[in-house]
Amino acid sequence: MAESISFELTGLEKLQEDLSKVITNYPDESKTALRQMANNFAKDVKSNGEPNYEDILSSKQWKKDIDVRAAQGGVSIDITNTHPLHHLLENGHEKWFMGKHIGGWVPGKHYTEKTRQDWNSKGLVAEKLDEVVQKVFKKVGL
């Protein structure tokens, strides 16, 4: 003999409304968090660098472009050091003197890359974004 199971779903409208609020609030909250993370990243790169490279690694040299794609629910940030010599410090360069190549290679310091790897190994980005999600959920009441 077959058993009959029945159930009733109630409150889906409320859940849908709450999720809609999350989608509305998340881009603003995440933009603020990403801008804060970008500033902290720039400070960490500078603190990992040597004092004589302070001008190249200073926080005023970092350009932060935040891209909000509301249709996809995504927010991203692109962090770029705009100092004209940063790429030489980061990646290395050939030796030149007064416009002449004098041979040899100056190895890169890789401060930015080392800081990125350090952040990845510590899980700082995921931790911060989890805080943002929890904050939005709390604000909405989920």
pLDDT tens-digit series, residues 73-108:
566 788 899 999 999 999 999 998 898 989 899 999
Which residues sit opposite 69 in a β-bridge? 74
DSSP H or E segment with residue 96: strand 92-97
Listed as ranges, residues in the chain with pLDDT below 50 are none
Q: What residue segments make up the domains of the chain, in order of their start?
A: 22-140
For residue 10, give both structure tokens: 């109630």
Is pTM beyond 0.85 here? no
Q: How many CB atoms lie within 10 A of CB 110?
A: 15
